[in-house]
A and B are shown apart, each in its own frame.
Chain A
Amino acid sequence: MNAPLLLPWALSLAIGMLILAMALCLVRMLRGPAAQDRVLALDSMYLNAMLLVLVLCMHWGSTDYFEAALLVALLGFAGSTALAKFLLRGEVIE
């Protein structure tokens, strides 16, 4: 058999830990005392989601979701930057 022994267990464990990490970020985003805490929590949630997509790629054995991970990273950057600009200026596009 050419199936790996440890990897399915490791991938399930990693998926569980990343989902827990996203839940912790969500708690911080809902509870965050200031707006910048919420933006920071949303940004780390995007990073965790990107890692989760990569681990799911390995789980399904398909390379089709690399672009999804790249898009999550890209949109997370655009969103966080726009929100930070909004906090700084009060408007996104001047």
Chain B
Amino acid sequence: MTAMPLWLDILISVLVVAGAAIALTGSMGLLTLPSFFTRMHPPALIATLACWCILHGAFAFFWWQDGAAPLRLYLIALFIAMTVPITCIFLMRATLFRARRAGAAVPPSLSGRAPSAEGG
């Protein structure tokens, strides 16, 4: 383990703080936005930009500390990138289904199977 050069120190610090700040921004949006469909957006910020910033920072840090690239960190990013859209689509479909059944003004179902207030 050699001394950490200043540029690496600055790079990792900026990546980690930026990732945490983006996660905080996303959570703040989740708390303050007015409706559920607008609230779907901020968590995507956490899952993409914040996740990648912190993962790159951790990658650089452990590469410097251990002398070997910790490639299994990218398993986490890969897994998040694969699973978060699935969760979002499921939640979106559940919300639309519940809104249609409650008679709210949402777009009708394309397949025409879901029970809706306007008979679509």
Contacts and interface: CB of A to CB of B under 8 A. Distances in A.
Contact of A47 (B46, B55, B73): B46
Contacts, number: 176
B113 interface: no
User: Interface size bucket, A side?
Assistant: 35 or more
A78 B91 CA distance: 13
Interface string B1-44: 11110101110111011011101101110110000100110110
Interface of A: 1-7, 9-11, 13-15, 17-18, 20-22, 24-25, 27-28, 34, 36-37, 39-41, 43-44, 47-48, 50-51, 54-55, 57-58, 61, 63, 66, 69-70, 73-74, 77, 80-81, 84-85, 87-88
Interface of B: 1-4, 6, 8-10, 12-14, 16-17, 19-21, 23-24, 26-28, 30-31, 36, 39-40, 42-43, 46-47, 50-51, 54-55, 57-58, 61-62, 65-66, 70, 72-73, 75-76, 79-80, 83-84, 86-87, 90-91, 93-95, 97-98
